Amino acid sequence: MSERLDTGTWVLVADGEKALFLENIGDGQDPHLVVRREEEQDNPSDAAQSANRPGRFNDGPSTHRSAVQDTDWQQLAKDRFADDLADRLYKMAHKGRFKRLVIVAAPKVLGEMRSHLHKEVAGSIIGEVPKTLTNHPLDEIEAVVKDALHNAG
């Protein structure tokens, strides 16, 4: 049985830096998503966040030194943003803001969020779409989500 994007269903569209919280005010046949909340994280390039050059450490009594891989600050920030979104969804669910939820997110973000979702939020998810659509117009997002839910059944 396929799910529908019924009236009142919320759609979270996210990547590692931006999130749109949308609500369907149309019906399942003709969805109309409106923005209820938008969040954006300032995530400078990795070069701007990291040290000038990778660290080095001594391999022991010899004079040989090895490079230490620099931390991927940008990826850490994206993971933290996904965790924050999971927390935000929990607070929204707890306040009764939505009963049904579709998550549209970049595959890595979706995976990171999934591992931090509270059972109250996980139980309300009617569909997941592993795509990056944060910079797409709302009518395209509506079509992609409607199609994904229709084909999931």
pTM: 0.78
- Please give the pLDDT value at position 79: 75
Mean pLDDT of the chain: 84
Over range 21-47, report the average pLDDT: 83
pLDDT at 25 over 90: yes
Per the model's pLDDT, the better-predicted residue between 13 and 54 turns out to be 13
**List of E strands, the chain:** 10-14, 18-24, 33-40, 56-58, 65-67, 101-105, 125-129
pLDDT band, residue 151 (cuts 50/70/90): confident
pLDDT digits (tens, 9 = 90+) for 59-115: 556 666 555 556 666 667 777 888 899 999 999 999 999 999 999 999 989 998 999
Q: Do residues 89 and 101 make contact, with C-beta atoms less than 8 angstroms apart?
A: yes
Q: Which CATH class is domain 10-42+72-152?
A: alpha beta
State mean pLDDT over 26-35.
92
Q: Which pLDDT does position 1 carry in this prediction?
A: 43
In a 13 Å sphere around the CA of 97, the CA atoms on its Cβ side amount to 18
Mean pLDDT calculated for residue range 53-62: 56
Inform me whether the pLDDT recorded for 54 exceeds 80: no
Q: What share of the chain is helix, strand, coil (3-state, %, to 5)?
A: 35, 25, 40
User: What pLDDT sits at residue 55?
Assistant: 53
- The CB density around residue 96, as the number of other CB atoms within 10 Å, is 7
The residue with tokens 């701007």 is: 48
> Domain map of the chain by residue range?
10-42+72-152
Can you say whether residue 106 is alpha, beta or left, with left for phi > 0 and alpha for psi between -120 and 50 degrees? Answer: beta
